[in-house]
Amino acid sequence: MFNLNLYQEKLTTGFIGQSIKYFPKLDSTNTKAWELISENAKNGTVVITDNQTSGRGRQANKWMSISGKSLTFSIILYPNVLPNQINLYSLIAGLAITDCLIEYNIHAKLKWPNDILINSKKVGGILCKSKISGGVIKSIVIGIGLNVNEKITELPEELHNQATSLFIDSGKELQLEALLANIINKLENRIQNIDKTLTDWKKHCSHLNQEVTFHTGNKIVNGIFKGLSLAGQAIITINNKKVKFDSGEII
């Protein structure tokens, strides 16, 4: 069960995470976050559950989590920014997690737009959804799933070559409440220093200047991942031409 006092002891933010909504079990923290937005939840509210039964990833993929072993949470923000900045929030969330993990001597990499990798295996994912009104993004929900204390035997056998956890990498169990607070602390710092996002993200990119297979819409293309646009779009060189993508998935 989530220890609210321990979490609050470690939290140093000005607004993100100061309001936290804990639920022992939820279908999806993202779904609950949008419900809370309709009820005028505070800016920076965090929604967390011990047991998420229907977590979602990109492209309608499911995000599997083990009760009490992982972090599954969503963050509500009211940024009032232009729609072309939505990609930056996914990048910022990934950087906040890598910033945090470095303090645990865990060196993660990032895969555009929203995967966290350790040794080329997925340890976490990010799902950003937004609502636009009057030409600006009024609300964003950043959903994060992070495998923390799972043992290899607790992951489905078919995922052993694709997925990992912080425990599998480090051999140490981590306190979920302290880890969450640390991620939230780093996230607020990243939002306050958004101008460093693109440069820092490229330093952690797992596939910069490498050939990638890219799934966009109903097409699959091959090219060289060259970096990010100012709006956080993927730039991929295809047949010697640089093409920008707002969305898609590196396979």
β-strand 70-77 against 136-147: which pairing, if any?
antiparallel
Q: At 215, list the tokens.
A: 């799934």
Residue 205 neighbours by CB distance under 10 Å:
18
Q: How confident is the model at residue 60 (pLDDT cuts 50, 70, 90)?
A: very low
* Domains located in the chain, CATH noted: 4-204 (3.30.930.10), 211-250 (2.30.30)
**Tokens 């232009």 label which residue?**
82
The predicted model scores a pTM of 0.93
Q: Residue 55 pLDDT more than 70? A: no
Q: State whether the Cα torsion 169-148-67-251 is positive or negative.
A: negative
What tens digit of pLDDT does each residue of 145-198 get? 999 999 999 988 888 899 999 999 999 999 999 999 999 999 999 999 999 999
Each residue's pLDDT tens digit, 102-131: 999 999 999 999 999 999 999 999 999 999
Phi, psi angles (nearest 5°) of residue 103: -70, -20
* CB-CB contact of 52 with 69 (8 Å): no
Q: In this structure, what is the dihedral angle of CA atoms 218, 222, 227, 231, given to the nearest 10 degrees?
A: -20
Q: Which two tokens stand for residue 34?
A: 């949008």
